[in-house]
């Protein structure tokens, strides 16, 4: 029975994270880029000023968390193990050219994330306790008249969260701490569950208050370590960038333990890892952005552009360039081990291991925090506000199980469910293009009047 489920899931997963889904997500990003006039290019400076220039200002409008707390929670969910291990895997399989295609997915993903958030804000509503809830499920029900498809999306996100946002992350933390410091997985699971409980049992407001400090710290810590490597190996950066561009269109030759790659492998793994990392098109981040205090959906949508910029252009690029300039990309290692090798070579003493291990733990922990709210919102949509607390308690139990178990089938199925979220979400986005264009014109016309 288990073998049958695994085989069926493997077949489905090859489509969910294979070329059909990649084409769908990239095509949607390209279409939205054209229809919005390249909003991610035209308004990136505006988005950076909006986010970084207003960190201490109190936002106007209704909502549960500040705009920055919303983007911090979304980044807590997207900046995860994939930013380290995922990028390394893309390069080890697809070659240096995978980094170029990861950038392509990030640039297009900025527009997709912007559109998702704008539409989610427009159709958000209050639950039984008076808190704002939003996301593709509400767009499908309230905007497109497809409540059944909204229920499908809610079911997918509430189930996928236990794997991709919970057990996988908990296991990564437990494995990393056991390998580096000999900490027993059971102890890691218990401590991680207690720490998570202290945050998520307080609801979204406490999650936002926590992530607005955690996310900047962990991002600066990791980017700082990467910057040191890039400064030390500055002379290798031009050659690395040249290798990325040439490999993206001509493939990479086999070197050392590296098995070689083709253009198609570079495209597939670069784009897929980028989409998996920034989650643009999957419909997860709009769930928390929909609860932000803001005076217009487009204003919060600009935070989505910033979110993908940080996740893909900054964090993923740091991992990728560190691997290339240190020359370890052809060593035959893959995943987190490859990234660890790069930082060990690039940083003096044991700092490389400290930076990678600490970042893996923080990235994974933040993802556990953020995804708890995504899954909770899905279950609240299906069963009402009373289902929130039982879901949070179940979340804590699965953290422990993920830490001590080796449930690869559960993780694989959750990975598939995570990818399947894109289908109803893209229906919501593509079905709301007219609304998106109207809100975009309306917002920037008002800005021009100021």
- What does the alpha-carbon distance between residue 112 and residue 201 come to, in Å, rounded to a whole number? 31
pLDDT of residue 410: 67
pLDDT surpasses 80 at 173: yes
pLDDT surpasses 80 at 29: yes
pLDDT surpasses 60 at 66: yes
- What does the alpha-carbon distance between residue 123 and residue 127 come to, in Å, rounded to a whole number? 13
pLDDT surpasses 50 at 258: no
DSSP 8-state symbol, 386: G
Lowest mean pLDDT among 30-34, 162-166, 209-213: 162-166
pLDDT of residue 268: 81
Decide if 343 contacts 85 (C-beta within 8 A): no
pLDDT surpasses 80 at 42: yes
pLDDT of residue 266: 80
The CA dihedral of 335, 338, 344, 350, to the nearest 10 degrees, is: 30
SS3 144: coil
Best-predicted range by mean pLDDT among 25-39, 174-188, 335-349? Answer: 25-39
Angle at 381 between CA 375 and CA 383, to 5 degrees: 100
Lowest mean pLDDT among 143-152, 215-224, 408-417: 408-417
pLDDT of residue 57: 66
SS3 221: helix
Among 173, 25, 193, 53, smallest CA distance to 112 is for 25
Confidence of residue 4 (pLDDT cuts 50, 70, 90): confident
pLDDT of residue 36: 95
Q: What is the pLDDT of residues 303-316, one digit of tens each?
A: 999 999 999 999 99
Cα distances (Å, whole numbers) of residue 89 to 9, 98, 361: 21, 10, 18
**For the chain, what are the domain ranges?**
16-449
CATH class, range 16-449: mainly alpha
pLDDT of residue 255: 42
Q: What value does the mean pLDDT of the chain take?
A: 89
Decide if 144 contacts 427 (C-beta within 8 A): yes
Confidence of residue 17 (pLDDT cuts 50, 70, 90): confident
- What does the alpha-carbon distance between residue 439 and residue 35 come to, in Å, rounded to a whole number? 13
Give percent of the chain above pLDDT 90. 59
Q: What is the pLDDT of residues 400-426, one digit of tens each?
A: 988 987 656 666 777 788 889 999 999
- What does the alpha-carbon distance between residue 450 and residue 448 come to, in Å, rounded to a whole number? 6
Confidence of residue 226 (pLDDT cuts 50, 70, 90): very high
Lowest mean pLDDT among 72-86, 111-125, 129-143, 246-260: 246-260
Strand partners, 252: 261
pLDDT of residue 94: 84
pLDDT surpasses 80 at 340: yes
434, with CB counted inside 10 A (0-12, 13-18, 19+), is exposed
pLDDT of residue 406: 64
pLDDT surpasses 60 at 343: yes
pLDDT surpasses 70 at 56: no
């Amino acid at each position: 029975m288990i073998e049958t489920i695994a085989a069926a899931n493997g077949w489905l997963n090859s489509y969910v994270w294979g070329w059909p889904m990649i084409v769908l997500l990239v095509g949607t990003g390209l279409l939205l880029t054209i229809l919005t006039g390249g909003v991610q290019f035209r308004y990136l400076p505006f988005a950076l000023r909006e986010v970084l220039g207003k960190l201490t200002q109190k936002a106007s409008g209704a909502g549960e968390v500040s705009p920055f707390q919303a983007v911090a929670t979304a980044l807590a969910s997207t900046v995860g193990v994939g930013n380290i291990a995922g990028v390394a895997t893309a390069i080890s399989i697809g070659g240096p050219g995978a980094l170029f295609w990861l950038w392509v997915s990030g640039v297009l993903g900025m527009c997709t994330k912007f559109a998702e958030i704008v539409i989610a804000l427009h159709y958000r509503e209050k639950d039984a306790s008076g808190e704002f809830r939003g996301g593709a499920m509400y767009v499908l029900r309230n905007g497109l008249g497809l409540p059944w498809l909204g229920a499908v999306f809610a079911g997918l996100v509430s189930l996928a969260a236990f794997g991709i946002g919970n057990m996988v992350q908990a296991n990564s933390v437990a494995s990393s701490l056991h390998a580096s410091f000999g900490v027993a997985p059971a102890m890691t699971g218990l401590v991680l569950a207690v720490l998570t409980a202290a945050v998520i049992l307080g609801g979204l407001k406490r999650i936002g208050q926590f992530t607005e400090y955690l996310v900047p710290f962990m991002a600066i810590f990791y980017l700082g370590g990467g910057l040191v490597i890039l400064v030390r190996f500055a002379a290798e950066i031009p050659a690395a960038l040249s290798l990325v561009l040439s490999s993206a269109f001509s493939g990479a030759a086999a070197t050392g333990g590296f098995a070689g790659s083709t253009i198609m492998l570079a495209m597939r793994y670069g784009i897929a890892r980028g989409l998996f990392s920034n989650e643009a098109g999957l419909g997860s981040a709009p769930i928390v952005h929909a609860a932000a205090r803001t005076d217009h959906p487009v204003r919060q949508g600009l935070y989505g552009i910033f979110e993908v910029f940080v996740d893909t252009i900054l964090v993923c690029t740091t991992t990728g360039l560190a691997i290339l300039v240190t020359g370890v990309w052809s060593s035959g290692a893959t995943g987190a081990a490859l990234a660890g090798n790069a930082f060990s070579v690039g940083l003096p003493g044991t700092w490389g291991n400290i930076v990678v291990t600490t970042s893996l733990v923080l990235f994974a922990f933040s993802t556990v925090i953020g995804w708890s709210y995504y899954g909770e919102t899905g279950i609240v949509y299906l069963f009402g506000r009373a289902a929130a607390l039982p879901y949070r308690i179940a979340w804590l139990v699965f953290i422990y199980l993920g830490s001590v178990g080796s449930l690869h089938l559960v993780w694989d199925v959750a990975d598939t469910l995570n990818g399947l979220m894109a289908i109803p979400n893209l229906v919501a986005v593509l079905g709301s293009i007219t609304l998106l264009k109207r809100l975009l014109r309306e917002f920037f016309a008002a800005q021009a009047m100021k």
